[in-house]
Amino acid sequence: LTTTLAATVALVAGPVAPALAANPIVNRFAADPSVLVANNRMYIYATDDQSNSGTYWDSNAWRVYSSSNLVSWTDHGAPFSVQGFSWATQYAWAPSAVQRNGYYYLYLPVDRTKIGVARSTSPTGGFSDPRGNPLIERGRDANTGNEPIDPAAFVDDNGQAYLYFGGARAPKVVRLNANMTATSGAIQNVTINGGSAFAEAGYLHKRNGTYYFSYSTGWPGQIAYATASSPLGPFTYRGVILDAVNVNTNHHSIAQYNGRWYIAYHRNARSGGGNYKRSLAMEYLDYNSDGTIRRVTQTST
């Protein structure tokens, strides 16, 4: 009877949304969330603002959190630090995480000029550098743009992987090899036709065959999005997902978990917070029937 009743309620009212933690979702300064769904959990990899000086994004470590119910979050500590790259010196900025081939891969910008890759069989630790040199490096590689930061890895349904990256108003994309530790072919520009221009913090997700490229529009900036029928674009501007937040950067990621879509982002939401002491937040992300994304409301409860 209980099952029948629940099914009837769901039919009439639609599925009941699972609860979300109140924002901020964790009690530690952290930013630039990269969401990864694996092992029936949601993992969030983040820039660790707790350990920076408070006057710049000069932390040397990243942080990982996870949750199975999106209400109670576990802090797993630092999965990797700048010191893990023999060729890097500073600035552990916005990470990107994906799972493939039985490994977890982290794409990690350092020094404002390089992106490295770290690999582990565990999502929360044991990461090491399989290359011994940067995956992408300004000055070594062609067309990196002035600031090769903010990586976002995406594996398409056909197995082809891509790495989106770029700051300083220069969105870039490059194919990754199947082993995920080398690029394949030239770094290309991401073209967005119309709307607000790209500033930084690009992210790619796919839904119903459409590729959604979302990004920050400035400092401060909104999270806007554009769509394409190919992962390489060209993308057509569609609108704003998230308004500017109360810090001078805006950075997000998007993932589906147990049938619902979510957006993770950062803002100032804890005592003592600010531009260099940001906090993680999460909201439901909803689509209209034509595939456009509804503008997100920033919640506190």
**What is the spatial distance between Cα 135 and Cα 108, in angstroms, rounded to a whole number?**
9
Residue 232, classed as helix, strand or coil, is coil
- Assess contact for 234 and 226: CB atoms under 8 A: no
Residues 78, 32: Cα–Cα separation, whole Å: 15
Site for ligand FUB in 148-187 (CB under 6 A): 149-150
Is position 111 an interface residue for ligand FUB (rule: CB under 6 A)? Answer: no
Closer of 55 and 294 to ligand FUB (Cβ) = 55
Nearer Cβ to ligand FUB (110/161): 110
Provide, rounded to whole angstroms, the least separation between the CB of residue 291 and ligand FUB. Answer: 26
| Per CB under 6 A, 60 contacts ligand FUB | no
Dist CA 242 CA 253 (whole Å): 11
- Check binding of 47 to ligand FUB (CB under 6 A): yes
H helices then E strands: how many in the chain?
1, 20
Cβ nearer to ligand FUB, comparing 176 with 247: 247
Contact between 269 and ligand FUB (CB under 6 A)? no
Distance separating alpha carbons of residues 92 and 90, to the nearest angstrom: 6
Sequence-distant (≥ 6) Cβ neighbours of residue 148 within 8 angstroms: 109, 113, 114, 115, 136, 137, 138, 165, 166, 167, 172
Query: Pick from 29, 43, 45, 57: which binds ligand FUB (CB under 6 A)?
Result: 57
Looking at the Cβ atoms of 94 and 254, the one nearer to ligand FUB is: 94
Nearer to ligand FUB, 55 or 301 (CB): 55
Is 32 or 283 the residue whose CB approaches ligand FUB more closely?
32
Which string of x and - marks every residue 219-248 that binds ligand FUB (by CB under 6 A)? ------------------------------
Which residue is nearest to ligand FUB, using beta carbons?
Answer: 249
In this complex, which beta carbon is closest to ligand FUB, that of residue 205 or of residue 251?
A: 251
CA-wise closest residue to 183 among 192, 191, 174? 174
7-15 long-range contacts (CB < 8 A, ≥24 apart) are 15/259
Could you say which of 23, 222, 249, 268 contacts ligand FUB (CB under 6 A)? 249
Residue with Cβ nearer ligand FUB (150 or 283): 150
Spell out, one character per residue from 68 to 97, where the chain touches ligand FUB: x when CB under 6 A holds, - when not: -------------------------xx---
Burial grade of 249 (CB within 10 A; 0-12, 13-18, 19 or more):
buried
Is residue 262 a contact residue for ligand FUB (CB under 6 A)? no
* Chain-centre distance for alpha carbon 93: 12
Judged by CB under 6 A, the residue of 201, 224, 226, 242 near ligand FUB is 201
Cβ atoms < 10 Å from Cβ of 279: 23
CA dihedral angle for residue 35, residue 197, residue 137, residue 125, rounded to 10 degrees: -10
**217 lies in the binding site for ligand FUB (CB under 6 A):** no
Residues forming contacts to ligand FUB in the complex (CB under 6 A) are 31-32, 47, 57, 93-94, 149-150, 200-201, 249, 251
